[in-house]
Chain A
Amino acid sequence: MKYLSEYRDPELVKQYLEQIHHITTKPWKLMEICGGQTHSLVKNGIIDMLPKEITMVHGPGCPVCVTAVSIIDEAVYLAQQANVIICSFGDMLRVPGSHKNLLEAKAEGADVRILYSPLEAVQLAKENPDKEIVFFAVGFETTAPANALSIVQAHKSGIKNYSILASHVLVPPAMEALLSDEENQIDAFLAAGHVCTIMGMEEYFPIAEKYQTPIVITGFEPVDLLQGILMAVQQLENGEYKVENQYTRYVQREGNRLAKQTMNEVFEVSDRMWRGIGNIPQSGYEVNEHYKQYNSRIKFSLNLPVAEENKECISGDIMKGLKKPFQCPNFGKACKPEHPLGAPMVSSEGACAAYYHYASVQQPEEAL
């Protein structure tokens, strides 16, 4: 398959692996930011092929996993309101809230729809003028442009029965939060290729400099990941800390200007609660003042009590890279994809679900 098989070429994979083995002399902990990268590493069996000195730590880059319980509660509350149709990406339906998830709300009669694009939700608003359509807008900088565009389009078409429940999170503040954590053990980052396709590289230079940590913007296919790992290890072995771009076929230094323009038009940066990590200042997007009639929180005067996280779930330690999924006492036992205790077991991009589905061969037997 063109544009894919080239990046899954066994011969190239072998060459990169040989180079990584050749240059690695010390133990290094590398964090891949994005859940898509985690998924690919585990699914392709790459982790077991790396030198034993290299530990891959699975970062917080799965939007489903980091969406706070309180926001799920807001979505469930909205779903239960008469006359509301709530639209969401499929994975969000199973994420547990304080009392129930969206799937349970749906079974009780709420109108919950799975969509693949926010623009479908705008269309739904057009077709159902007597209903309120809420789009559950989760995601990193990658999904933000389309969600912003949905508001711009609704506004242009004079659609008033559409709003979004923004749960957007931003990567660079999360990286800073991890790096400034006392327990931080991360030596280098593989930054998320798709986030950088939108945002570009600029935000990462000050982080690499301040924390003296190499950052390599990396893609998602086996060859991408191995090349990214090689570039990061090369920097570490040489004592360097630069921002490098492995994903040059998509990522430009300035990012996607049009996408950023649309986001800036609709969103403002705000504080955001992250599941398992807590509040990170200036780490999310909220709908701005100008478009506030499209903000579900304002439209429905949301003011729910702050919910407590499930204490049995160690997702915070997983996402900070302090623990591996199979080091959790509940992994594969009380916590499984069919009844998750926390979000990393829900989404296919969550570290726990990735380990559960595609478990590493070297994983301890009792953890399976």
Chain B
Amino acid sequence: MIELQCPMPKFDFDVITLGHGSGGLLTHKLLQSGVFDILKNDLLDQQHDGASFQLNGKVAFSSDSYVVSPAFFPGGNIGELAINGTVNDLAMCGAIPQYLSLAFIIEEGLTMDEFWKILVSIKEAAQRANIQIVTGDTKVVEKGKGDKIFINTSGVGLIHSKANIHHNNIEPGDKIIVSGNIATHGIAIMSVRKGLEFETTIESDTINLNHTVKNLLDQFGNAIKFLRDPTRGGVASVLNEVAELTSLGFELDQKSIPLIEEVEGACEMLGLDPLYVANEGLFIAIVKNEIADEVISVLHDDENGINAAIIGEVTEQHPAKVLLKSKIGGRRVVNYLTGEQLPRIC
């Protein structure tokens, strides 16, 4: 649970109402004594329609909307998810994230206490990732037209001078690495979903990965060929996309895929294949064969990569297909996720 390090300011109201999104006095009050204050920085303090700043170099730009249900889940809440998600998308481009925008769509009735908790976790996530939130928006919709709160964040980052992340760089023989245990976030969310609640100690692993990625790029440069965070659709979907883009084959070894036993158990119980379960705080790296072991040892020294593992390799065989060698030695195709996707997990 997040400890409230910032005391909540005294508001005249207990819940967000339609008036808070009207652009009038209530909006002003909410922003002044809430959002602007807690997220304070020079660019945001300009309180203009947008932020003006200088960036020198090649830039990455990314945007994502967050509708996770429930908004508070074991190990985090929608606020930090919205920051980490866009920060990580930028990092996967080989960029050092710099500035983010932050837009709320709030359903009337969200308690001020909940909103404050979300704001605090946004602030902490921004600090961890070393980025600034420089512009934003707040809208309020009628009760029943939303699900507590939706958040959109967009961000820009400067491409790392040594980075050359592109699927065209992938070659047969390259190794496929995951930075940690798979499926943890998706199962943490499932465990608290209405109608499905089950007792577990599994917590979401949502975290910013930009420092971890920067460290890898500093050391290995363009030998890190490709990066992706396998959020919705899981590891299987990302690898299928890359296999299709490169027309190369991807071969996974089931027994080397890291997975918490409790997550594996929950997947068994719910009839889910962990390869398709959503992740946060996890990335896939495709790296030159020669540096794969070194990358793993660097990751093992990083708190976000303790469970990193080589899970397979790229091959010329079976082009555009992902194959899995099962624990018992059988082989099967790992296809795209189709049909029932776990609803709204990021």
A and B held together in a complex: yes
Using CB atoms and an 8 Å cutoff, list the residues of chain A in contact with chain B. Answer: 1, 4, 8-10, 13-14, 42-46, 48-49, 90-91, 94, 114-116, 120, 222, 336-338, 346, 348, 353, 356-361, 363, 368
In the complex, how many angstroms separate the beta carbon of A220 from the nearest chain B beta carbon?
Answer: 11
Known: A90-B340, A115-B195, A120-B195. A359 touches B335 (CB 8 A): yes
Task: Please state if A361 and B196 are interface contacts (CB–CB under 8 Å).
Answer: no
A1 lies within 8 A of B268 (CB): yes
B338 / chain A contacts, CB cutoff of 8 Å: 336-338, 356-357
Residues on B with C-beta less than 8 A from A90 are 340
Residues of A with C-beta under 8 A to B324: 45
Q: Which residues of B contact A336 (CB under 8 A)?
A: 338
Expressed in whole angstroms, the Cα–Cα distance for A336 and B268 within the complex equals 25
Contact B195 A116 (CB under 8 A): yes
Determine whether the beta carbon of A368 is less than 8 Å from that of B333. yes
Tell me, yes or no, whether B199 is within 8 Å of chain A by CB.
no
- In the complex, A115→B327 CA distance in Å? 32
- Could you tell me how many residues of chain B have their Cβ less than 8 Å away from some Cβ of chain A? 25
Q: Could you tell me if A49 and B332 are in contact, using CB atoms closer than 8 angstroms?
A: no
Q: Which of B305-342 contact A (CB under 8 A)?
A: 318, 321, 323-324, 326-335, 338-340
A179 to chain B, nearest CB (A): 30
B271 within 8 A of A: yes
Q: Which residue of A lies closest to B318 (CB)?
A: A361
Question: What 3 A-B pairs are tightest by C-beta distance, nearest first?
Answer: A45-B330, A337-B338, A337-B339
**B268 with A4: CB separation less than 8 A:** yes
Residues of A within 8 A of B328 (CB): 8-10, 13, 44-46, 222
Among A9, A10, A338, find the residue whose CB has the most chain B CB atoms closer than 10 A.
A10
Cβ–Cβ < 8 Å partners of B318 in chain A: 361
Pick from B327, B333, B339 the residue with the most CB of A within 10 Å: B339
A1–B264 CB distance below 8 A: yes
User: Could you tell me if A1 and B271 are in contact, using CB atoms closer than 8 angstroms?
Assistant: no
A362 to chain B, nearest CB (A): 9
Question: Are B329 and A14 in contact (CB-based, < 8 A)?
Answer: yes
Chain B residue nearest to A336 (CB atoms) is B338
Question: B198 → chain A, closest Cβ, in Å?
Answer: 10
Q: Is the CB of B332 within 8 A of A43?
A: yes
Return chain A residues, CB-CB under 8 Å to B332: 42-45, 358-361
The reply to whether the CB of B301 lies closer than 8 angstroms to some CB of chain A is no
Cβ distance A117 to chain B, nearest Cβ, rounded Å: 9
How far is the CB of A49 from the nearest CB of chain B, in Å?
Answer: 5
Known: A48-B330, A361-B318. 13 other contacts (CB 8 A): A4-B268, A13-B329, A43-B326, A44-B326, A44-B330, A45-B329, A115-B195, A348-B271, A358-B333, A360-B333, A361-B323, A361-B333, A368-B333
CB distance from A43 to the nearest CB of B (A): 7
Assess whether B261 is interfacial by the CB under 8 Å rule.
yes
Q: List 14 A-B contacts (CB under 8 A).
A: A1-B261, A1-B264, A43-B332, A44-B330, A45-B326, A48-B331, A49-B329, A91-B340, A114-B195, A338-B339, A348-B340, A353-B339, A359-B333, A363-B333
Q: How close is B318's CB to chain A, nearest CB, in angstroms?
A: 8
Q: How far is the CA of A97 from the CA of B265 in the complex (A)?
A: 35
Option from B195, B264, B329, B331 in Cβ contact (under 8 Å) with A10: B329
Beta-carbon contacts under 8 Å, B255-277 to A: 261, 264-265, 268, 271, 273
Give Cα distance in the complex from A9 to B326, angstroms.
11
Please name the residue on chain A nearest to B338 by beta carbon: A337
Which residues of A are found within 8 Å of B323, using beta-carbon distances?
Answer: 361
Interface centre among A116, A222, A357, A363, by most chain B C-beta atoms within 10 angstroms, is: A357
Chain B residues with CB under 8 A of A43: 273, 326, 332
B335 touches A356 (CB 8 A): yes
Could you say which residues of chain B place their CB within 8 Å of the CB of A348? Answer: 271, 339-340
- Complex formed: what's the CA distance from A357 to B23 in Å? 50
Check if B196 sits within 8 Å of A116, measured CB to CB: yes
**B330 contacts A357, CB within 8 Å?**
no
Contacts of B196 in A (CB 8 A): 116
- Nearest-neighbor residue (CB-CB) of B268 within chain A: A4
**Bound-state Cα–Cα, A49 to B332, Å:** 11
Q: What is the distance, in angstroms, from A365's C-beta to the closest C-beta of chain B?
A: 9
Whole-angstrom distance from the CB of A293 to the nearest CB of chain B?
A: 26
| Chain B residues within 8 Å of A94, by CB | 339-340
Residues of A within 8 A of B334 (CB): 358
Contact A49 B195 (CB under 8 A): no
CB-CB under 8 A from A91, the residues of chain B are 340
In the complex, what residue of chain A is closest to B262 when comparing beta carbons?
A: A1
Please report the C-alpha to C-alpha distance between residue A361 and residue B323 in the assembled complex, in whole angstroms.
8
- Closest residue of B by beta carbon distance from A339: B338
Residues in B with CB closer than 8 Å to A8 are 327-328
User: How many Å from the CB of A135 to the closest CB on chain B?
Assistant: 14
Contact B268 A49 (CB under 8 A): no
Residues of A within 8 Å of B333, CB to CB, are 358-361, 363, 368
Identity of the chain A residue whose Cβ is nearest the Cβ of B236 in the assembled complex: A357
Q: How far is the CA of A45 from the CA of B331 in the complex (A)?
A: 5
Alpha-carbon distance between A14 and B326 when the two chains are bound, in angstroms: 13
- Minimum distance in angstroms from A259 CB to a CB of chain B: 20
